[in-house]
Structure 1
Amino acid sequence: MIMAEPELPVLLVDEVGGIFGVLEAHLPLLKKHFHLLTMKELLENKACLSAKVEAIYVWWCRPVVDRELLKTLPNLKVVATSGVGVDHLDLKLIAGFGVRIANAPWGVRTCTADIGVALLLAAARRLMEGCQVATSPHTEYFPCNIIGDDVTGATLGIIGMGSIGYQTALRARAFEMKILYHNRNRRKEDEELAVSACYCAKIEDLLQHSDFVMLVVNLTPQTYKLIGKRELELMKPTATLINISRGSVVDQDALVEALQSSVIKGAALDVTDPEPLPRDHPLLKLRNVIITPHLGSRTHKTTRMITEEAIDNILAALRGLPMPSEVFPD
C-alpha cells in the first residue's frame, strides 16, 4: 500500500516575487516546508482557504497583520517577521488571538553594521558629492574644495549597543576610532575592552563628545523621537548623525532645522519616516544629507539567513516547541 505524503502546512505570504513579495530565490527553501498561499489567493477564496492557514511570513512589513486578518484565520499559530524590528506588528493584538510571534535578529547583525560604517565613511569623505562631480557631463576639472573629515582617530558614539551596535564597534576599531556608547544595560567589562569602548550612563555625555553619532536602537515608546531638538543642539556643530535603526527614532522636523541652520554638520540615514519620504520633503533637498532606501539587511546572504531563521521559528511553533527567536508583547 502506498502511503500518501503528509500535507504541508499552509504559510500565508503577501505575494511571490514582485516589489514586495518574498524573493523568488527563496521559493525552493520555503516550498520544501510549506504550501505557500498569497494574500490575493486568500482574498479570492476566503471560505475555503481561511481555516487552512497556520502561519504568516511577514516579508518587509507585508502582509499587514491587523484585527480583520486575524479574525479571518481561526487556525493561525504563528507570525514570523523578517529582520529584527517588530514595530510594524501589534504584538498585544496578535498575542491576544493566541498567536505566537517571532523575529529574525541573528542574520542581520553584520550586514546592518556594514551599512552603518558605509554611511559613516560616505558622509565623512563626501562620497556622494564626489561621485556627482566625477560623473557630471558638465565637469571639466576636479575641484580641490571637496574636503572631507578624517575617520581614523575620530570619536564614534553608538546609541544602542546590542548585537548590531557591538558589530559596528568592532568595525570602528579597525579605523582606530574612539568609541563611546549608551545603552540600557552596560556591556561586560571584557566586551568593552575588546572594542576599547567607554560607557556613557547619560546620553548627553555621548552627544557632546562624539564626532559621529550612530543610532542602533529598536523603535519602542521609549525611543520614539529619542533624538530631537535638544539632543541635536548638544551635538558638536561638526558632528554627523547616522541612523540605521528606525526613522521615528529621530524627530525629522528638528533634524531638518538642525541641518539647515548648521547645528550639526550632516546626517546619513538608511531609514526615514515614512519610507519613502514624500518627494517634496525638505530632507531630500539638503546637500548635507545622505539617504538610502533601508538597505541595512539587503544582501543575498543575509536575506537567505533571515528566511531560514523564519522557517526554523515557524516549524518550532507548529510543533509546539520553543522558538529560537520568540518575541513577547512585553
Structure 2
Amino acid sequence: MKKRILVYGHLNDSQLAQLNQDFEVIIFPDLTSIDDTAFRASLSGAHGLVGASLVITPELLDAAPHLETIATISVGYDNYPVEELTRRGILLCNTPDVLTETTADTGFLLIMAAARRAVELAELVKRGEWTRGIEPKYFGSDVHDKTLGMIGFGRIGAAVARRGALGFGMRILYSNASPKPELEAQLGAEHREMKTLLAEADIICVTVPLTTETEHLIDEQEFAQMKPSTIFVNIARGKVVNEAALIEALKMGQIQAAGLDVFEQEPLSPESPLLHMKNVIALPHIGSATHETRTAMAQRAVDNITLALRGEHPISLVNEEAWKPA
C-alpha cells in the first residue's frame, strides 16, 4: 500500500506527477484552516504533509498517528512545534538556499523604495500632481556610500549585505550572529553589538529568524537608539518587531522611514496606522514570491518528502534529532 501525502501548498503538474509515482496524493488547493472537515478526515491515514502557512498544533498531530514527515514550502518554521515533532519522531523539512537571493532582492527593493520615497512619489504622479520640478520637501536619501546595519547575518542577511557592499559601496555592520571572518574579508563587514549598530547605521535591515529570544527583539528602546534619519527594513518575521513601538517611532520622527514585507498579524489589518503613513512601504509578504523561486521551493519540498518517506535523508532537515537511519 502506498504511503499517503496531503498537499495543501501549490505544486505544479510535474511536481504532483512526481509524487504520484510513489505515493497516494490528496490535494487541498484552497485549504485555509486545519479544521477543514475533509482535511481532518484524511489526517488519520497521512504519512506526509506538504504545504505552508498553516499553524500545525500538537492537537492536529494527535489526529495523524501515522505521520512521518512534514515538508514546509518555506525556510521559516515558526508555525511548527519543532520540539513536539522531534519527540514524536516526525521529520520537519524546509527550503533554505533556494529563496535566498530573491528575498534579498526584496530587502534591497525596500531599502531603495523607502530611501527614495518611490511609492509616495509614484502615487503623486498618478494623481496628476506632478506639475513642476520636484521640490526639496520631496527629496529622498542616498543609499550609496551609507552604512548598512544587518540584524542577522545568515544566508539572506549576507546576500542583502553583498548587494550593498559590492553594488552600492556601503559600509556593512552586523549583529545577532556569530563572527563571520569570511564575510568580513569579502565585504569588509564589521561585527558590532546591536546597541552600537543601531546608533551607527543609516539603514537597518532585519533578517533574524523568529524564536522566543527574537520575538520583539526590536522594541521601543531599540528605536530610541536609532538616528532620526534611519531607514528601517524588516524582511524577517513581523513578530521580531514590536509594531506598536515602530508606529510610535515613525510618528515621533525617531526614524525616517520603514520598508516592511512582514507584520505581526497577516494580512495587515485595514485599521493599521501603517497603511496611512507616507513614510512606510508595506508589501504583502512577497519576499520569495516570484514564479521561479516559488517553483524551486515547491520542488525542494517535493524532493524532501520523497526522500524522507523512502527512508533516505532529506535535503533540508530542520530537526536532525528526529532522523533515525534505516
Task: Flag whether TM exceeds 0.5 (same fold).
Answer: yes
Partner of 2:324: none
Instruction: Give the corresponding residue for 2:274.
Output: 283
Structure 2 equivalent of residue 265 of structure 1: 256
Kept in 2, the 8 Å contact 1:134–1:142? The answer is no
Match of 1:255 among 241, 246, 250: 246
Aligned counterparts of 2:249 and 2:320: Cα–Cα separation in 1: 35
State whether structure 2 residue 177 is matched by structure 1 residue 191. Answer: no
Contact 1:8 1:33 in 2 (8 A): no
SS at match of 2:168: coil
Separation of aligned partners in 2, 1:142 and 1:30: 55
Deviates most, 315-324 or 257-266: 315-324
Checking the alignment, whether the CA contact within 8 Å between 2:10 and 2:298 is kept in structure 1 is no
**Structure 2 match to 1:181:** 174
Kindly provide the CA deviation profile for residues 228-276 of structure 1, in whole angstroms up to 9, marking residues without a partner as x: 1111011111001100000001011111111000011111101001012
- 2:159 aligned with 1:167: yes
Distance 1:231 1:45, change over 3 A: closer
State the Cα distance separating 1:44 from its structure 2 match. Answer: 3.6
Q: Which of 25, 31, 35 does residue 17 from structure 2 map onto?
A: 31
Q: Would you say the 8 A contact 2:219–2:241 is kept in 1?
A: yes
Q: Given the superposition, is the C-alpha separation of residues 314 and 130 from structure 1 closer, same or farther in structure 2, using an over 3 Å criterion?
A: same
Which one-letter code corresponds to 2:90 in the other structure?
Answer: V
Deviations 1:126-171 (A, max 9, x none): 1011101111145444532320111110110001100111111111
Q: 2-side partners of 1:285 and 1:90: how far apart?
A: 36
CA RMSD after TM alignment: 2.1
Gaps of 5+ in 1: 1-6, 15-20
**Counterparts in 2 of 1:257 and 1:57: CA distance versus 1, 3 Å:** same
- What is the CA–CA distance in structure 2 between the aligned matches of 1:36 and 1:141, rounded to whole Å? 60
Contact map agreement 2:154 2:177 (CA 8 A) in 1:
no
Deviation at 1:50, TM superposition (A): 4.0
Q: Following TM superposition, by how much is the alpha carbon of 1:213 offset from its aligned partner in structure 2, in angstroms?
A: 0.3
Deviations 1:189-215 (A, max 9, x none): x32111111111x10111000000000
Q: Secondary structure at the match of 2:49?
A: strand
User: How far has the Cα of 1:287 moved from its partner?
Assistant: 1.3
- The worse-fitting range, judged by mean Cα deviation, of 113-122 and 320-329 is 320-329
Q: In the TM superposition, what are the counterparts of 1:230-241 in structure 2 within 5 Å? A: 230-241=221-232
1:3 corresponds in structure 2 to none
Supply the distance in 2 between the matched residues of 1:181 and 1:45 (Cα, whole angstroms). 44
Aligned residue for 2:281, secondary structure, equals strand
Cα distance between partner residues in 1 of 2:39 and 2:94: 29
Q: Which residue of 2 aligns with 1:22?
A: 10
Return the offset for 1:329.
8.6
Amino acid at match of 2:198: L
Residue aligned with 1:80, SS? strand
In 2, the alpha carbon distance for the partners of 1:329 and 1:262 equals: 45
Kindly indicate whether residue 314 of structure 2 is the aligned counterpart of residue 323 of structure 1. Answer: yes
Q: 2:48 aligns with which of 45, 55, 58?
A: 55
Change (3 A) 1:268 1:220: same
Normalised TM-score (structure 2): 0.89
Does the aligned pair in 1 maintain the 2:115–2:257 contact within 8 Å? no
1:134 aligns with 2:120: no
Change in CA separation of 1:155 and 1:307 when aligned onto 2, cut-off 3 Å: same
Count how many residue pairs are aligned between Structure 1 and Structure 2: 311
Instruction: Report the Cα distance in structure 2 between the residues aligned to 1:130 and 1:244, rounded to whole angstroms.
Output: 23
Q: What letter matches 1:161 in structure 2?
A: F
| CA positional deviation for 1:286 | 1.3
Alignment TM-score, normalising by the size of structure 1: 0.88
Runs of 4+ in 1 over 6 A off after TM superposition: none
Paired AA for residue 11 in structure 1: I
Write the distance in 1 (CA, Å) between the matches of 2:178 and 2:190.
13
Considering Cα pairs closer than 8 Å and 6+ residues apart, tell me whether 1 or 2 has the greater RCO.
2
CA 1:71 to 1:147, structure 2 compared with 1: closer, same or farther past 3 Å? Answer: same
Q: Which residue of 1 is the match for residue 140 of structure 2?
A: 148
Unaligned ranges ≥5, structure 2: 322-326
